[in-house]
Copies of this chain bind each other. A is one copy, B any other.
Amino acid sequence: MPYINIKITDENVTTEQKQALIQGTTQLMVDVLNKDPATTFVVIDEVNLDNWGIGYEQVTQLRKKKAGNN
């Protein structure tokens, strides 16, 4: 009966990538904990870059700085 919530930044994640995250985490529950996949939920939240902060800064700003360094 696991419930897995994955929060990632909203940066063009494809349907195939989401499917891979769902399959991979569900398989992990089966392999490690012997859980039933039929009652394993995975919910992915894609978060706007303005709404995610790390090290005092919005990811929006971090991405700009990184781009500026190239």
Contacts and interface: CB of A to CB of B under 8 A. Distances in A.
Contact of A1 (B17, B26, B54): B54
Interface residues of A, number: 50
Interface in A32-56: 32-33, 35, 37-47, 50-56
Specify how many copies of this chain sit in the oligomer.
6
Nearest to A7: B3
B32 A41 contact: no
Given A20-B32, A22-B56, A25-B28, A7 B51 contact: no
A9 to B, nearest CB: 6
A50 to B, nearest CB: 5
A39 B3 CA distance: 11
